[in-house]
């Protein structure tokens, strides 16, 4: 009977732009077997900003050095309860999904959520979708993934888009609800 090799604990680290913070541990017999695994971390753990309680980031292990597993950004999403609180009775939910390429060549699927009062007309709805899509496309194409994350965490895109879209129709919320890295 063969002797089983002892498994080791590896420390999983966030990317450099999150300060390589410890986001978890993983058990593996071979350190290379951790490559490709996906880990989740709350934005509060990464940024110490309690206002971002609703953001959950995902990271994928790309290399292992000793007992440390280094990751890269693999996406983020808003929690389900946060979205549910926005989508109430007498509102219209508008979802926009776009596959876009960042400045550094990474393909992302960006899912956006707009909440308006229920009685929005077809013309206003079309104009709102077109304006929001244009904002998102310009924003993603002109930034690297690192800049994109920083600007999402500071609500730069959210606030600017909200103000611009309110001129078309009085929206209640604008949120980037999910970003996925396409491989």
Asked if residue 3 belongs to a domain, the reply is no
| Chain mean pLDDT for the chain | 93
Q: Is the pLDDT of residue 55 over 90?
A: yes
Q: Are residues 134 and 157 in the same domain?
A: yes
> Domain limits at 57?
8-78
Using the predicted structure, report yes or no on whether residue 73 has a pLDDT greater than 90: yes
Question: Do residues 164 and 127 both lie within one domain?
Answer: yes
The pLDDT assigned to 2 comes to 66
Task: Provide the whole-model pTM.
Answer: 0.90
In this structure, the answer to whether residues 25 and 99 fall within a common structural domain is no
Q: Is the pLDDT of residue 131 over 80?
A: yes
Residues 21 and 86 in one domain: no
Rounded CA-CA distance 39/22 in Å is 11
Asked if residue 129 and residue 67 are part of one domain, the reply reads no
Q: What is the pLDDT of residue 31?
A: 87
Overall number of domains in the chain: 2
pLDDT tens column, 21-47: 999 999 998 889 999 999 999 999 999
Regarding whether 133 and 48 lie in a shared domain, the answer is no
DSSP string, 127-148: HHHHHHHHHHHHHHHTS-HHHH
- In a domain? residue 113: yes
Say what the pLDDT of residue 118 is: 87
Separation between Cα atoms, residue 149 and residue 76, nearest integer Å: 9
CA distance 101 to 81: 29
Instruction: Clarify whether residues 74 and 86 are in a common domain.
Output: no
In this structure, the answer to whether residues 111 and 166 fall within a common structural domain is yes
- CA angle centred on 85, ends 123 and 130, rounded to 5°: 25
Residue 1 above 80 pLDDT? no
One domain, residues 84 and 164:
yes
User: Do residues 97 and 161 both lie within one domain?
Assistant: yes
């Amino acid at each position: 009977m063969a002797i089983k090799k002892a498994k080791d604990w590896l420390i999983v680290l966030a990317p450099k732009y999150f300060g390589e913070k410890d986001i978890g541990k993983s058990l593996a017999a071979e350190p290379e077997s951790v490559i490709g695994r996906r880990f989740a971390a709350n934005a509060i753990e990464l940024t110490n900003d309690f206002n971002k309680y609703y953001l959950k980031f995902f990271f994928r292990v790309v290399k292992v050095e000793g007992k440390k597993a280094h990751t890269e950004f693999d996406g983020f999403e808003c929690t389900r309860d946060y979205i549910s609180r926005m989508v109430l009775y007498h509102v219209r939910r508008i979802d926009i999904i776009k596959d876009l390429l960042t400045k550094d060549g990474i393909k992302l699927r960006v899912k956006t959520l707009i909440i308006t009062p229920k009685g929005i007309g077809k013309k206003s709805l079309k104009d709102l979708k077109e304006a929001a899509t244009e904002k998102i496309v310009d924003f993603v194409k002109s930034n690297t993934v690192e800049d994109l994350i920083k600007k999402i965490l500071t609500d730069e895109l959210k606030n600017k888009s909200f103000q611009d879209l309110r001129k078309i129709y009085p929206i209640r919320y604008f949120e980037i609800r999910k970003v996925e890295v396409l491989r």
